[in-house]
Amino acid sequence: MRDRSQDEAMAEQFQDDPAYALQLLNSVLEDGDQAELLIVLRQMAKAFGGVQTIAEKANRNATQL
């Protein structure tokens, strides 16, 4: 059995419970530091289709995110 990375595990959890993803993001924005924010954003991008997909949904260029 292959071990999952932390990013894979969190991405799966965010997919299963988008409300939790939003709650965590808001918490990190309120209390976290920049490194923590970047980790959560990386995990969320993985969960929700990657940076390109998120940029398209937000009507932005991926380099603007």
Which residue intervals of 1-65 are DSSP H helices? 6-16, 18-31, 34-47, 50-57
Q: Which two tokens stand for residue 7?
A: 């990013």
pLDDT at 2: 64
Are the C-beta atoms of 13 and 20 separated by less than 8 Å?
A: yes
pTM summary value: 0.80
Residue 24 pLDDT more than 80? yes
Eight-state DSSP code of residue 65: -
Q: What is the mean pLDDT of the chain?
A: 91
Residue 29 pLDDT more than 70? yes
Going by pLDDT thresholds of 50, 70 and 90, the confidence category of residue 4 is: confident
